[in-house]
Amino acid sequence: MAKYFNPFTISVDYSNGKISEIAPIQCHLVDLKSHFSDRKAVEKTLSSGLNPLIYEVYEAFQPFMSGHLNFGTTILNPGKIAKEYFFTKGHHHVRDCGEIYTFFKGKGIFLLQTKNGETAEMPLKAGTTIYVPPGWAHRMVNVGKEELISIFCYDAAAGHDYSSIERTGFAKLVVERNRKTQIIDNPNFSI
Ligand code: M6P
Ligand code: ZN
């Protein structure tokens, strides 16, 4: 008889998003070099010896676990490179599927876009739950002063497709101008 996968629990610390049973995946500035719009500001920061931790992801599953749901937390630190706020890399899924995020700390903007050029931007704060339908690339941006923390869930066989975002960039940038958060068109975006 086939052995069933064992049920399990994880412990999320809701004060900081960390999950004690899981080793986080970390993303530093050097990993996002080509994603920030001001490349000179990135190089200046790195060459001064700084390589800040931008975000950490705690994932229950490695990808490509058919039939399972992947879930965990993302902790996106506050900060900016030049005028642009810290963000996650952003991706489509290889195997198209929806995804749910619930935010429990911080303040942000969720950027979405399709390969047809449609875009959407959603404000985020503690208590916001967002449904990302299939076909929408997604990125979160931290526009607050503390960490932006969320719990997510999606098809564990979906995989991440980073290539189209690396090629086109995001259609919108989230920047601070005149001490205000603004969503502007990315001058370097092309489908
Ligand atoms: C969420 C999930 C993860 C994703 C992470 C960071 O936690 O969607 O699957 O890896 O955000 O996003 P990205 O991989 O685009 O940097
Ligand atoms: Zn996703």
Residue from 56, 57, 165 to probe ligand 1 pocket by mutation (most atoms less than 8 Å from CB): 57
Distance CA 103, CA 76 (A): 11
Q: Classify domain 25-185 at the CATH class level.
A: mainly beta
Compute the half-sphere exposure of residue 6: CA atoms within 13 Å on the CB side of its CA. 2
- How buried is residue 127: exposed, middle or buried, by Cβ count under 10 Å (0-12/13-18/19+)? exposed
Q: Is the CB of 73 under 6 A from ligand 1?
A: no
Backbone angles phi, psi at 164, to 5 degrees: -70, -35
- Residue 84 carries which side chain, given as an amino acid letter? E
CB within 5 A of ion ligand 2: which residues?
Answer: 99
Distance CA 41, CA 18 (A): 30
Q: Which atom of ligand 1 is nearest to the CA of 90?
A: 15
Q: Is the CB of 74 under 6 A from ligand 1?
A: yes
Give the model's pLDDT for residue 154. 97
Atom 15, ligand 1: which residue's CA is nearest?
A: 90
Distance CA 172, CA 191 (A): 13
What are the percentages of helix, strand and coil residues in the chain, rounded to 5? 10, 45, 45
| Mean pLDDT per 10-residue interval, the chain, length 191 residues | 90 97 98 96 98 97 86 98 98 96 98 97 98 98 98 96 95 97 96 83
Give the model's pLDDT for residue 65. 84
Give the model's pLDDT for residue 62. 77
Residue from 91, 94, 110, 136 to probe ligand 1 pocket by mutation (most atoms less than 8 Å from CB): 91
Give the model's pLDDT for residue 10. 96
Residue from 30, 61, 68, 89 to probe ligand 1 pocket by mutation (most atoms less than 8 Å from CB): 89
Give the model's pLDDT for residue 127. 98
Give the model's pLDDT for residue 2. 79
**Domain extent listing, the chain:** 25-185
